[in-house]
């Protein structure tokens, strides 16, 4: 199929931040885009921006960690905007706490969204990919996979996503499906704002402190991740699979 074939992409957690930027970028690349987030109302802004720019978008409210809601959402995408062959597993939450204070619920919630959610979404979409003999699974990992203070739960989830990605790549490769992970460093979004709030630091100072550790001497923006996702979703990236691309302005966190 040529670069002009219209693909349908699903972006989870696409109502804001990195997911919204990816959704808009894939739409401007010419894909139909389904934005899944917890509440359908929250997807209205990004869906509206995509439509205003001449694209095709659908907003759906679903919890990626809920098997029935995932099945319903993927069916709606296939019925209303076409069989999904690009999946961006981006939905995420943080429940940071030091190990000695972390509750079982904080641990389970983070693993539930990132790992169970990734598994349920990818399992639900892979059939469409196999049928079309084309697929791109792109999952958001993080530099926190290498370990990060206060993030026992999140680092486990983000390291786990790297393992799942490599397994998807091995199992689905012969069907024209690639699977890769993007591991962002510090990206300015509501998530990093929430972290600054939790540690009691003004966001501007928090960004400055992060930038002082980043070789390219700036913070990351959602568009930096969207650009990488665009490459991994493209027709021409079919020989890149099972990889983790650190997008962190330098070689390490
Ligand atoms: N911001 C960063 O610096 C950074 C760095 C590395 C990795 N990441 C990862 O990138 C992804 C996006 O991060 P962000 O900064 O844009 O976060 P964000 O908090 O701004 O947005 C996350 C979105 O996911 C949605 N979401 C949460 N749980 C969900 C669920 N169960 N089902 C469906 N949607 C759900 C939220 O409603 C929200 O719209 C996450 O996976 C995050 O872990 C972010």
Distances (CA, A) of 192 to 120, 151, 161, 201: 26, 13, 20, 11
Residue in 20, 46, 92, 249 to alter for ligand 1 test, most ligand atoms within 8 A of Cβ: 92
- Identify the band that residue 252 occupies on the pLDDT scale cut at 50, 70 and 90: confident
Using the predicted structure, report yes or no on whether residue 1 has a pLDDT greater than 50: no
**Which spans in 199-248 are helix H?**
203-211, 222-233
Distance from the alpha carbon of residue 1 to the mean position of ligand 1, in angstroms:
32
**Known active-site residue 246:** no
pLDDT in tens, 62-100: 999 999 999 999 999 999 999 999 999 999 999 999 999
Q: What is the pLDDT of residues 34-54, one digit of tens each?
A: 999 999 999 999 999 999 999
Question: How far, in Å, CA of 199 to CA of 43, rounded?
Answer: 29
To test the pocket of ligand 1, the residue of 10, 11, 12, 13 to mutate (highest count of ligand atoms within 8 Å of its CB) is 13
- Residue 142 CB less than 6 A away from ligand 1: yes
Q: Looking at the chain, which runs of residues are DSSP E strands? A: 8-12, 32-37, 57-61, 84-89, 135-140, 177-184, 244-247
Q: What is the number of the ligand 1 atom nearest to the C-alpha of 189?
A: 15
Q: Whose Cα sits closest to atom 43 in ligand 1?
A: 92
Is the CB–ligand 1 distance for residue 140 below 6 Å? Answer: yes
23 lines ligand 1 (CB under 6 A): no
Ligand 1 pocket residue status of 64, Cβ below 6 Å: yes
Distance 2 CA to ligand 1 centre (A): 32
* Tens digits of residue pLDDT in 172-230: 999 999 999 999 999 999 999 999 998 999 999 999 999 999 999 999 999 999 999 99
Q: pLDDT by residue (tens digit) across 123-135?
A: 999 999 999 999 9
Instruction: Quote the mean pLDDT of the chain.
Output: 97
In this structure, the residue with its CA closest to atom 18 of ligand 1 is 191
What global pTM score does this model have?
0.98
Atom number of ligand 1 nearest to Cα 186: 3
Q: What is the pLDDT of residue 166?
A: 99
Ligand 1 and 88: CB distance under 6 A:
no
pLDDT-based confidence at residue 5 (cuts at 50, 70, 90):
confident
C-beta 82 within 6 A of ligand 1: no
User: What is the Cα–Cα distance from 185 to 213, expressed in whole angstroms?
Assistant: 11
Cβ contacts of 69 within 8 Å, gap of 6 or more: 62, 63
- The rounded Å distance from CA 23 to ligand 1 centre is 13
Contact 14, 20 (CB under 8 A): yes
């Amino acid at each position: 199929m040529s670069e002009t074939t219209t693909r349908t992409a699903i972006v989870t957690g696409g109502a804001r931040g990195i997911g919204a930027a990816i959704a808009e970028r894939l739409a401007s690349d010419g894909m139909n885009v389904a934005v899944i987030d917890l509440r359908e109302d929250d997807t209205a802004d990004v869906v509206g921006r995509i439509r205003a720019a001449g694209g095709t978008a659908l907003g759906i409210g679903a919890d990626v960690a809920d098997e029935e809601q995932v099945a319903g959402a993927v069916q709606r995408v296939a019925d209303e905007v076409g069989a999904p062959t690009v999946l961006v597993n981006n939905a995420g939450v943080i429940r940071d706490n030091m190990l000695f204070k972390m509750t079982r619920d904080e641990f389970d919630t983070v693993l539930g969204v990132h790992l169970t959610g990734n598994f349920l979404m990818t399992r639900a979409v892979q059939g469409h990919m196999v049928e079309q003999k084309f697929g791109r699974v792109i999952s958001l990992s993080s530099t926190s996979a290498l370990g990060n203070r206060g993030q026992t739960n999140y680092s486990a989830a983000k390291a786990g996503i790297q393992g799942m990605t490599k397994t998807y790549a091995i199992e689905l490769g012969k069907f024209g499906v690639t699977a890769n992970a993007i591991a962002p460093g510090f990206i300015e979004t509501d998530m990093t704002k929430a972290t600054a709030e939790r540690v009691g630091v003004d966001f501007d100072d928090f960004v400055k402190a992060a930038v002082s550790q980043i070789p390219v001497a700036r913070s990351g923006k959602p568009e930096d991740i969207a650009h990488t996702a665009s490459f991994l979703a493209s027709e021409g990236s079919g020989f890149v699979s099972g990889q983790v691309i650190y997008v962190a302005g330098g070689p390490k966190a």
